[in-house]
């Protein structure tokens, strides 16, 4: 059972529809018991870091996610805000503590002085820093779709698996053991994104 975590922020149904295109059944749920019973977890997200953490805590989902991902080693996919919430701290509208599953902090893109707009919206080439099973069958420097104003600055560079360029080097994807997360939206990235989601379904970390 694959569970897409519903915490009130995110493009839940576009993620679910992408899996439908692959013929894969998923459940959208905000119930802690569903997360405990899941074989794989997906944390999508669109919105602010603090709101995301507050919603997870209000629904009692933060601790169960940490338990299932960290202790029980379930394959986990974070998308956009779902990547950022893995960090220790986020600096969006103040300082907020994250899930602490990935060392690092989340800060605003520093590109406006270069004449670039924030948020960063659109297609960008993604460069692989190291091999990942989730990029299997996807050519290097392939395009993925981004929508974000903040990015994760990895505390441990070993977790960084892919970057993009938008006035600065952007953390495009990270991986640590059973955790994989992307700043881009695979569900909006057409063929390349569907391949990544298919790879997640088959991933055995």
Catalytic, 67? Answer no
Number of structural domains the chain divides into: 1
Give the whole-angstrom CA distance, residue 195 versus residue 189. 10
The tens-digit pLDDT sequence of the chain (205 residues) is 999 999 998 889 899 999 999 999 999 999 999 999 999 999 999 999 999 999 999 999 999 999 999 999 999 999 999 999 999 999 999 999 999 999 999 999 999 999 999 999 999 999 999 999 999 999 999 999 999 999 999 999 999 999 999 999 999 999 999 999 999 999 999 999 999 999 999 999 9
pLDDT of the residue at 106:
98
Bridge-partner residues for 89, per DSSP?
Answer: 97, 105
pLDDT of the residue at 118:
97
Q: Are 40 and 74 in contact (CB under 8 A)?
A: yes
pLDDT of the residue at 11:
81
Q: CB atoms < 10 A from the CB of 74, how many?
A: 20
pLDDT of the residue at 181:
98
Query: Residue 185 has what DSSP assignment?
Result: B
DSSP of 78-147: EETHHHHTTSSEE-SSS-EE---SSSEEEEE---GGGT--SSEEEEEEEEESS--GGGTTS-TTEEEEEE
Catalytic, 154? Answer no
The range of the structural domain enclosing residue 8 comes to 2-202
Q: Any idea how long the chain is? A: 205
pTM score of the predicted model? 0.97
pLDDT of the residue at 10:
80
Active-site position among 80, 92, 120, 154: 80
- SS3 letters for 132-177? CHHHCCCCCCEEEEEEECEEEEECCHHHEEEEEECCCEEEEEEEEC
Active-site position among 68, 120, 148, 185: 185
Please state whether beta strands 104-108 and 96-97 pair in parallel, antiparallel, or not at all (unpaired). Answer: unpaired
> Which is it for the CA torsion 42, 88, 90, 55, positive or negative?
positive
Catalytic, 148? Answer no
Q: Are 113 and 159 in contact (CB under 8 A)?
A: no
The CATH number for 137's domain is 3.40.50.880
> Which is it for the CA torsion 187, 190, 196, 198, positive or negative?
positive
pLDDT of the residue at 27:
97
3-class secondary structure, 70:
helix
Active-site position among 68, 92, 187, 198: 187
């Amino acid at each position: 059972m694959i569970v897409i975590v519903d915490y009130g922020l995110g493009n839940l149904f576009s993620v679910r529809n992408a899996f439908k295109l692959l013929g894969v059944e998923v459940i959208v749920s905000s119930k802690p018991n569903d997360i405990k019973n899941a074989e794989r977890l997906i944390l999508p997200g669109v919105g602010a870091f603090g709101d995301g953490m507050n919603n997870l805590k209000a629904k009692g989902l933060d601790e169960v996610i940490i338990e299932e991902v960290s202790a029980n080693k379930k394959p986990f996919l974070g998308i956009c805000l779902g990547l950022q919430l893995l960090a220790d701290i986020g600096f969006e509208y103040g300082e907020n503590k994250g899930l602490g599953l990935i060392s690092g902090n989340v800060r605003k893109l520093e590109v406006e002085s270069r004449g670039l707009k924030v948020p960063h919206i659109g297609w960008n080439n993604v460069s692989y820093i190291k091999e990942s099973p989730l990029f299997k069958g996807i050519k290097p420097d392939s395009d993925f779709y981004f929508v974000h104003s903040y990015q994760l600055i990895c505390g441990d560079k070993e977790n960084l698996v892919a970057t993009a360029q938008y006035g600065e080097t952007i953390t495009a994807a990270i991986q640590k053991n059973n955790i994989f997360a992307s700043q881009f939206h695979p569900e909006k990235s057409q063929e390349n994104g569907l391949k990544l989601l298919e790879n997640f379904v088959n991933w055995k970390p």
